[in-house]
Amino acid sequence: MTDENKPERNSTEMRLGLGPGSIVEGRYEIIRLLGEGGMGTVYRAEQVAPLRRPVAIKLLKAGLDSDEVVRLTIEVAGLNQLGEAFAIELV
């Protein structure tokens, strides 16, 4: 594949060396980038241990202020109320 056909790497991928095939926390394999916003970067991934299941991983930007942390906590609590299929684990 030539360089012009390779997808561009976002700032988080370049800073942390993440991309498809990367393993996070020893149990999540990055599949692809879903999006990048004000609080961080979201990836489509697969949990590979202790069981295999599709997941989304949000990597937070360094230096979030307390208001942003509160917003994230509210987001996690709200999604966890949707049921087991949408359970979120903070790592």
Longest CA–CA span in the chain (Å) reads 45
Tell me, yes or no, if the pTM score tops 0.85. Answer: no
Using the predicted structure, report yes or no on whether residue 35 has a pLDDT greater than 70. yes
pLDDT in tens, 39-70: 888 899 999 988 898 888 888 888 888 898 88
Scanning 2-91, the segments in alpha helix (DSSP H) are 11-16, 66-80
Give the total residue count for the chain.
91
Q: For the chain, what percent of residues have pLDDT higher than 70?
A: 73
